[in-house]
Amino acid sequence: MRPIHEHERPSPEHGDLAAAPTRRWPLLYAAALVVAITGCAELREPRIGERLPRTGQEIVVAGQLFHVGAPVVLWIDEDGYDAYRPWKHFEAEDEGAEQKARYGARRLTPSGRAQTDAEALAAKNGQWSLADLREVVDQFVIHYDVCGTSEVCYRVLQDGRGLSVHFMLDVDGTIYQTLDLDERAWHATIANDRSVGIEIAQPGAATLADRGRLDEWYEESASGGPTRVTLPERFGDGGVATTGFEGFSARAEPVVGAINGTELVQYDFTPQQYESLAKLTAALHRALPRIELDYPREADGSPLMRTMTRAEFDRHSGLIGHYHVQSNKQDPGPAFDWERVVRDARGHLEGR
């Protein structure tokens, strides 16, 4: 796992979000929120000043906690990945290097009016309310990271490219949240102002001519069983939270399909990733109801495998792929099971 430096280490009781540096937090827990998070039928009124711990399965939306039902590591946790850092994490900065932000303020107002960066920052200083965020955010952008593990993904985003994403989903199903969702992460160009983004740990898709590059990541079963996910030796454990984790592709055979007219081959994601993603999708829909539980489709109902026109993009609320936004992107690839994610998300909300 990555090292934690003393200047970024949270308080021993790091369930207290108020301990996060440079962030202003409203009261996170109230009686109604306890019910929303736990689903408990009986309610005990918290005592004034009582510390109410996180369970480790909550995301943060406009300073409030929402239960996911899957393992979540926040940016303030000891093993978290913090996109608020204005400097590199794994590498030392050059002496005198300027600190640079990896994120910004959402430039849309609840009324739909576009703002300049300066106007958006001024508005953000007043703190976004959950009600305001619900009027703005209506898309959930799905990426694969081409890095293989979330630790490597964070290294590339934070230290290498100076970019950010709200969530990373590791091969074992662990969800890492790097920013409050009221922030504008830098992950999908024109979608950034109205979206939440997630990077799913995976080497991604390859052209048919380049499919050999996937060999170091996957070991196919001679008996036709599940394909084993392997990490190249140079990665070590890759920072995966589950010690000794052995992952398998959700489908035994790689999937071949075209995105924006290019034939690609890709192994499927792990069942643990699908399970956590479906639960996160359900939680996002409940927290931000304008993120509909659907994805771009062809007239026959099948997934749209091309970049949307601007009119289609403007109309769509729900899940989208990176390739739906940018024609030079392919993620989350032809193997991504859109229907499985939205079906299971609906099932979680219906109590199945």
Residue 51: its pLDDT value, please?
75
Residue 126: its pLDDT value, please?
61
| pLDDT averaged per 10 residues in sequence order, the chain, 352 residues | 38 37 39 42 70 88 94 96 93 79 88 79 76 95 97 96 97 98 96 97 97 94 88 91 94 95 98 98 97 98 98 98 97 98 97 76
Pick from 351, 290, 296, 287: which is nearest to 325 by CA? Answer: 296
- DSSP H or E segment with residue 274: helix 271-287
Q: At what angle do helices 271-287 and 338-349 cross, to 10 degrees?
A: 60
Residue 194: its pLDDT value, please?
96
Residue 310: its pLDDT value, please?
97
Q: What are phi and psi of 109, to 5 degrees?
A: -95, 165
Residue 13: its pLDDT value, please?
34
Strands 139-144 and 195-200 come out as: parallel
Residue 49: its pLDDT value, please?
75
- DSSP H or E segment with residue 104: strand 103-105
Model pTM? 0.86
**Do residues 83 and 156 touch, judged by C-beta distance below 8 A?**
no
- Show me where the domains of the chain are located: 69-203+271-349
Angle made by CA atoms 57, 37, 2, in degrees to the nearest 5: 20
Residue 169: its pLDDT value, please?
98
Q: From the CB of residue 102, how many other CB atoms can be counted at a distance below 10 Å? A: 22
Residue 35: its pLDDT value, please?
40
- DSSP H or E segment with residue 64: strand 64-67
Q: Enumerate helices (H) and strands (E) in the chain, giving the number of each.
A: 8, 16
Q: What is the 3-state secondary structure (H, E, C) of 291-336?
A: CCCCCCECCCCCECCCCCCHHHHHHCCEEEEHHHHCCCCCCCCCCC
d(CA 105, CA 128): 10
CATH superfamily membership of 69-203+271-349 = Peptidoglycan recognition protein-like (3.40.80.10)
